Amino acid sequence: MLLCTCSFLLNYPRSLTLYTYPQSHRGSTPWSLKYRFKMLLWEYVWPLLCRWTPKPFNRWRLFILRLNGCKITGTPFVHQRARIDHPWNLSLCHLASIGERAHLYCLAEVIVEYGAIVAQEVYLCTGTHDFNNPVRPLQTAPIRIGSDSFIGARSFVLPGITIGEGAVIGACSVVTRSVDSSMYVAGNPAKILRPKKFT
């Protein structure tokens, strides 16, 4: 049973499709000047205010994330050497953990639920491109990491993926499809190994 409820999960979409950004030609940016300025500011905020902090300064890092639009419930943990792009698209629940050098590429919404662990050097990637279009426009879709799940070190999670509650992703896996609750998966591409056995 979960000890906390994240209110922002109530409206989370269960059927995910890629959103394609309109771009006039290859190399053009989908972002407005105002949005690019916002991204530029964040590129300086985290290194100057958080990356140098000792591990126990977690509450300070959470404070800085909140100031920059991250939705936080309770007290998750974010390592000082984690990389978070577009933090205003990130939602973290109580006791969620983001490991050292994990990269959360939040072009679309990323939700890490209660007690979920995103281990060292994991890459959560919400962006790709439409390779059937010669312009190759940006495409995005959200990622949801279910409660009490574990994403092993150096795994790569593609856009639009949902990791079910209690699922375990083996190290160095490439997750190309959503994973059901309480399943062990691993490999490239990640495949089901077996369901979790509860004792």
Structure tokens at 99: 């490991």
Contacts of 97 (CB under 8 A, 6+ apart): 76, 77, 116, 117, 118
d(CA 163, CA 173): 13
Residue from 102, 94, 99, 115 nearest 165 by CA: 115
> For this structure, is 79 an active site residue?
no
Residue in 25, 86, 103, 129 annotated catalytic = 129
Residue from 183, 158, 159, 181 nearest 170 by CA: 183
What SS3 state is found at 9?
Answer: helix
Structure tokens at 79: 């390592």
d(CA 26, CA 134): 8
Active site amino acids: 129
